[in-house]
Structure 1
Amino acid sequence: MKDFTGKTALITGGNGGIGLGIAQGLGVAGADVAIWGRNAEKNESALSVLRSQGVTANSYVVDVSDETSTATAFSQTLEDMKKVDIVIANAGVPGDGSPIHKTSLEEWHRVLGVDLDGVFLTFRHAVDHLIDRGEGGSLVAVASTAAVHGAANNIPYGVAKTGLLGLVRGLAVEVARHGIRVNALSPGWTKTEMTEHGYGWDKFREATTARTPVRRWGEPDDMVPAAIFLSDPDAIYHTGQNIVVDGGYTVF
């Protein structure tokens, strides 16, 4: 296993699902971990899990769609953790499942506010810090296969995740000279609270499982190896890329 001792990782949306899985993976590998989440109770529960595994961790109640909340949280994270080397921008919300002609502007802004603006705000603070430190770093945006195929009845979500790929590619070019790498990780259908809430577990899951070559939905732990690779300082030549982890769904 890669040794991340001496590194500090910030994971937004780190109190459950894919975010908590990645936090555990990096923490068990030796990184100190800061998790951001909107729900204080879930944050504390995630901290208990991490600390029970011997991980040094702190949590912060943050709304990543809010500029002031994000700025305050990043400052507090630096005060407590002293530095950040790795950022996993995982916080996200699903759409409400409406077709485009029934999607309100409020819903559009709600989804893009968290799923796209939240990553922009988080990365903006991280880049400023990493450039000042001058020791490089890794930024990872958790996108989705919704950025690869169409996201019917979920257009705000698909647009937000597609936008992340543009953010990743442009920022990768912009900060490469500082030794900062920027990449995306796009999970396929994965068992989390968000997908359960948005889509259920009946015919939809059966249909998507049937067209997935490995014949199952992903688990949060399935995303950890890719996140570890993208966070690894040794992956110095890997930037501006999108790694799809979907059991073959998008190529079948």
Structure 2
Amino acid sequence: MFNLAGRVVLISGGNAGIGLAFARGIARSGGDVVIWGRRAEKNAEAAKSLAGFGGRVLTQEVDVADEARVVAAMAEATEEMGRVDGVIANAGMMRNERSFLDMTTDAWHSLLAVNLHGAYLVAREGARHMKARCDAGDPGGSLLFCASLSALTGSPGMQHYNASKGAMAAMSRGIAVEAGRYGIRSNVVCPGLTKSETVRIPDDSPRGQRIRDYTPMRRIGTAEDFEGIGVYFMSDYSRFHTGDLVVIDGGWMANAGKTDLSEVPLWP
């Protein structure tokens, strides 16, 4: 159903974690991928892991906080691949300060430079290319922002992270309203707690046990859980789906942290 043959999707922060899972899902479905990451060795590892799917893989060293590099890299990608049909703004960073009162201006601006301003630059350049294609008689395109449950909830010592993800969701809705006339869709996915290079929570630790006890799916998320949603939003099966925010968290928000599910009896 979700054949992406002939489609080209660019993923910022695509060399590890959820970003690489997005790339893997797209490559598995026959699409070509462009991976942006700051570390050449990680880009090479990601490309190697995708080679077996048979599609084209282009990697570029890009710091999304560098506007000139984002503009140049998008031009290079469209020249090399011929087109870009989808852009996933996934690059981001996470920091936990001691408290809001101790948060420095430098900490605030450096995080937003990547998480929010970087996402804006990536999406803007992708949208410019898609609008040019539309003007040439080839409308369509999909923008997807990878936010977090932090777009919807508060986190102590992470107000800069909350702000970046919440603003990302608002920005995406604005893009959706303006860009729909060109066939361009814009959506947001909000992952729940997901294991990654930066999130290491042993299943048998007290915190890991608590997360499982309060998550209806009874486990912590993995990057692989996001392959499907990326494919969906990059495919024509989401052609009328725009301006939305999709939560993928194993039911954590539905439970609202209220019920210890280890105490709920099993169905007979």
TM over 0.5: yes
What is the distance in 1 between the residues matched to 2:51 and 2:188? 27
2:112 paired residue number = 112
Q: Single out whichever of 36-45 and 75-84 deviates more from structure 2.
A: 75-84
Q: Tell me the CA shift for residue 104 of structure 1.
A: 1.0
**CA offset digits 1:152-171 (Å, max 9, x no partner):** 22111111000111011100
SS at match of 2:116: helix
1:147 paired residue number = 151
Q: Tell me the CA shift for residue 226 of structure 1.
A: 1.5
Bigger CA radius of gyration: 2
Q: Which amino acid is the alignment partner of residue 150 of structure 2?
A: A
- Residue 166 of structure 1: which of 164, 170, 178 is its match? 170
| Structure 1 contact 143–185 (Cα < 8 Å) conserved | yes
2:96 paired residue number = 96
| Structure 1 contact 24–50 (Cα < 8 Å) conserved | yes
Q: Single out whichever of 176-185 and 104-113 deviates more from structure 2.
A: 104-113
2:196 paired residue number = 192
What is the distance in 2 between the residues matched to 1:97 and 1:216? 27
Q: Single out whichever of 71-80 and 134-143 deviates more from structure 2.
A: 71-80
1:55 paired residue number = 55
What is the distance in 2 between the residues matched to 1:178 and 1:89? 20
TM-score of the two chains, using structure 1 as the length reference = 0.95
Q: How does 1:1-252 map to 2 (within 5 A)?
A: 1-134=1-134, 135-196=139-200, 200-201=201-202, 202-252=205-255
What is the distance in 1 between the residues matched to 2:171 and 2:212? 30
| Structure 2 contact 30–54 (Cα < 8 Å) conserved | no
| Structure 2 contact 30–53 (Cα < 8 Å) conserved | no
Q: RMSD of the TM alignment (CA)?
A: 1.2
Q: Single out whichever of 3-12 and 233-242 deviates more from structure 2.
A: 233-242
**CA offset digits 1:83-115 (Å, max 9, x no partner):** 100111111100134311111111111111111
What is the distance in 1 between the residues matched to 2:51 and 2:83? 20
Q: Tell me the CA shift for residue 118 of structure 1.
A: 0.7
Q: Tell me the CA shift for residue 205 of structure 1.
A: 3.1
What fraction of aligned residue pairs are identical, expressed as a percent?
A: 37
Q: Which amino acid is the alignment partner of residue 158 of structure 2?
A: N
Q: Single out whichever of 60-69 and 49-58 deviates more from structure 2.
A: 49-58
TM-score of the two chains, using structure 2 as the length reference = 0.90
Q: Which amino acid is the alignment partner of residue 251 of structure 1?
A: A
Q: Tell me the CA shift for residue 141 of structure 1.
A: 0.2
Count of residue pairs brought into register by the alignment: 249
| Structure 1 contact 148–250 (Cα < 8 Å) conserved | no
Q: Tell me the CA shift for residue 236 of structure 1.
A: 1.7
What is the distance in 2 between the residues matched to 1:212 and 1:241? 23
Q: Which amino acid is the alignment partner of residue 217 of structure 2?
A: V
Q: Which amino acid is the alignment partner of residue 71 of structure 2?
A: A
Cα distance change on mapping 1:156 and 1:185 into 2, 3 Å: same
What is the distance in 1 between the residues matched to 2:207 and 2:115? 23
What is the distance in 2 between the residues matched to 1:172 and 1:68? 25
Q: Which amino acid is the alignment partner of residue 165 of structure 1?
A: A
SS at match of 1:221: helix
| Structure 2 contact 2–237 (Cα < 8 Å) conserved | no
| Structure 2 contact 12–90 (Cα < 8 Å) conserved | yes
Q: Tell me the CA shift for residue 55 of structure 1.
A: 2.8
Q: Tell me the CA shift for residue 206 of structure 1.
A: 3.1
| Structure 1 contact 93–194 (Cα < 8 Å) conserved | no
What is the distance in 1 between the residues matched to 2:219 and 2:213? 8
